[in-house]
Amino acid sequence: MVDGALAAPKKRVKVALDDFKGTAMHLEGSCHCGAVRFSLQAHSPVPFMHCHCSICRKTAGSGGYAINLGGDAATLRVRGKKHLSVYHALLREPGQRTKRSPAARHFCAQCGSPLWLWDPRWPELVHPHASAIDTPLPKPPEVVEAALDHAAPWVDVPRGRGHVHCRQWPAESLAEWHQRHGLWQGG
């Protein structure tokens, strides 16, 4: 038996989008082994964007992409900080020297679970990985497939109604997407 593979499934809780309109959503998250637990308030909690860039795919995207949410960095509370580790991705652009990203990707040093990203260029924001969130999240009314020029060839990218395709990064920010759908209200 694979560790945890046959554990009893948790009851699925459906979260209506109207449940948090106009207010920040309280999120609780953790790593797989439980050594790190965290909480925060999020004005952009809908997991709508699948990022297919090589950094997200290789650091947090076993399905070929990662899903980051938008939260208020000032509200981030962490238990088990001694078990955290940070990775700064290497940025490789054609014709340029490789440089280290200022964005800090936090993960559990015990089990390797990706937890959140924080970038000093936007210090008020923190971007938890949807996969690390234990709080039931609302289902998005539309999904943005981002950075498709970098998608792995084996990934079956969904098409059709409800899926927006972007070769690179979309013009809308997380907050702007939530605002357009009437799902965000600044704090």
The whole-number pLDDT of residue 64 equals: 86
Q: Which two tokens stand for residue 150?
A: 């970098």
pLDDT at 9: 44
Q: What is the pTM of this model?
A: 0.85
pLDDT of 23 reads: 74
Q: What does the block give as tokens for 105? A: 């990707």
Domains of the chain with bracketed CATH? 26-180 (2.170.150.70)
Residue-wise pLDDT tens for the chain (187 aa)?
A: 344 444 444 554 455 445 545 578 999 999 999 999 999 999 999 999 999 988 988 898 778 889 999 999 999 999 999 999 999 999 988 899 999 999 999 999 999 999 999 999 999 999 999 999 999 999 999 999 999 999 999 999 999 999 999 999 999 988 899 889 988 656 5
**What DSSP string runs through the chain?**
--TTTTSPPPPP----GGGSTTSPEEEEEE-SSSS-EEEEEESB----EEE-SHHHHHHH-TTS-B-B-BEEGGG-EEE-GGGEEEE-PEE--TTS--EE-S-EEEEETTT--EEEEE-TTSTTEEEEBGGGB-SPPPPPSSEEEE-GGG--TT-----STTEEE-SS--SS-HHHHHHHTT-----
What's residue 2's pLDDT? Answer: 43
